[in-house]
Chain A
């Protein structure tokens, strides 16, 4: 069965620090990968997605993620975080033979001014 692991449960950073959130998935076939964000009091929103092609994907608000097939990883990065990036971040995966999203447990990011 597919599964997604997010190793960082809670990350605390100061503004302007760099961010990297880990995501590993377990599935032997072709996958589609997503990062969703949930700001306080808001619903889940898509940050970025990878289906095929260039493994370095750029999303909204300066976020990017790199798909490394050999490591089954899709880590999220941002060079310089802002206070407004405080949120919960979820990595998720689908495969070519299922429509359902499989989510990780999420990473809570707190950014202090």
Chain B
């Protein structure tokens, strides 16, 4: 069965405490691995797209990496404003799109 699994489900960090979020997938035919941020009561907001194993993208305190079957979102020295749910999305062929259930990140001041 096609699945995108994100771990942990929830993560609580102290401000400045770096960590990583994991996204593993069993879906075949990767055409793009997307990361989104979702704040409560809002729609997902695009962060990164990764297309091939070994690719990395960075934005401020966030860095996304991709291997053959998983992706990591590394958060360096997080701030309270980084608190959100982070969604991983596997884009396969044509309209095959599979969302993970997300990791809810809370950064404590």
Partners in one complex: no
Binding site for B on A (CB under 8 A): none
